[in-house]
């Protein structure tokens, strides 16, 4: 029973729809709360009429909210349609894991949630706006928050384009697969209480030098390495060349505690 519950919650929290759904609910509840705050009269009049808040009429408010809602849902649909099409083409070359990484990526979920949440917020505020013929009511504070959400969507769109450009990169996909593999190995070893043997090196075999970072070797300062080895009276054997891709923990050199030659 506990195993089934654990699997259920793991699938729930890794689902693509969970965070967007929560952000939609947040947008709806936030709109209801702010509109009621505007109706209550708690917000000071000087704050409502300040320059940084919306201070137009009901007709302008409806036009503004309609523009925000239409833009948010339109951009969300267009961006994600194009992205999924590009990912489908890339998945044919790099494997279906790319699509899985896309659906489980928090950045993509938050981006979709930001657009859908703003759309839901704008619709809920729009339904409360009244023009002069209907007994004018304009939720100034709610409208101003809607404008801020629209600018937030613009920033989110910029982030999303930059984020997706990196996610469909081959190096990023390899890095993600490598990270998942190491995480799975660590989880299995922890469950079975196994101890990985630590490598031992004697002075004759040399000691491996590793690097916790990942990426390409851009350049090797051979002169500085040679000077350091001469000062320490050791010998360095480089295992990587400029242009090689290095994973975290991969050996990059061997240090011998004696001079060769």
Q: Which of 54-58, 97-101, 154-158, 233-237 has the lowest mean pLDDT?
A: 97-101
10 Å Cβ neighbour count for 20? Answer: 21
Separation in Å, CA 137 to CA 123, 132, 133: 16, 8, 10
37 exposed, middle or buried (CB, 10 Å; 0-12, 13-18, 19+)? middle
pLDDT tens for residues 157-213? 999 888 887 777 767 777 777 777 777 777 777 655 555 555 554 545 677 888 888
β partners of residue 216: 245
10 Å Cβ neighbour count for 171? Answer: 12
pLDDT tens for residues 110-169? 999 999 999 999 999 999 998 877 777 888 889 989 999 999 999 999 998 888 877 777
């Amino acid at each position: 029973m506990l195993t089934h519950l654990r699997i259920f919650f793991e699938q729930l929290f890794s689902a693509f729809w969970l965070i967007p759904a929560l952000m939609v609910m947040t947008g709806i509840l936030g709109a209801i709360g702010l509109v009621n705050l505007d109706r209550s009269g708690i917000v000071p009049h000087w704050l409502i009429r300040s320059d940084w808040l919306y201070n137009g009429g009901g007709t302008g408010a409806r036009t503004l909210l309609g523009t925000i809602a239409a833009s948010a849902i339109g951009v969300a649909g267009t961006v994600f349609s194009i992205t999924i099409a590009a990912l489908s083409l890339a998945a044919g070359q790099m494997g279906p894991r790319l699509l899985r990484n896309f659906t489980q990526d928090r950045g993509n979920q938050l981006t979709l949630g930001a657009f859908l949440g703003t759309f839901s917020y704008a619709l809920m505020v729009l339904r409360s706006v009244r023009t002069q013929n209907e007994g004018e009511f304009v939720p100034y504070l709610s409208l101003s928050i809607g404008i801020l959400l629209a600018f937030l969507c613009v920033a989110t769109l910029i982030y999303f384009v930059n984020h997706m450009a990196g996610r469909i990169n081959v190096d990023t996909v390899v890095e993600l697969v490598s990270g998942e593999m190491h995480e799975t190995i660590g989880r299995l070893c922890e469950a079975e209480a196994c101890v990985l043997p630590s490598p031992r090196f004697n002075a004759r075999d040399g000691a491996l030098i590793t690097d916790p970072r990942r990426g390409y070797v851009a350049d090797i300062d051979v002169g500085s390495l040679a000077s350091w080895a001469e000062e320490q009276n050791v010998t360095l054997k480089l295992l990587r060349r400029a242009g090689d891709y290095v994973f975290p923990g991969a050996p990059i050199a061997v240090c011998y505690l004696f001079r060769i030659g």
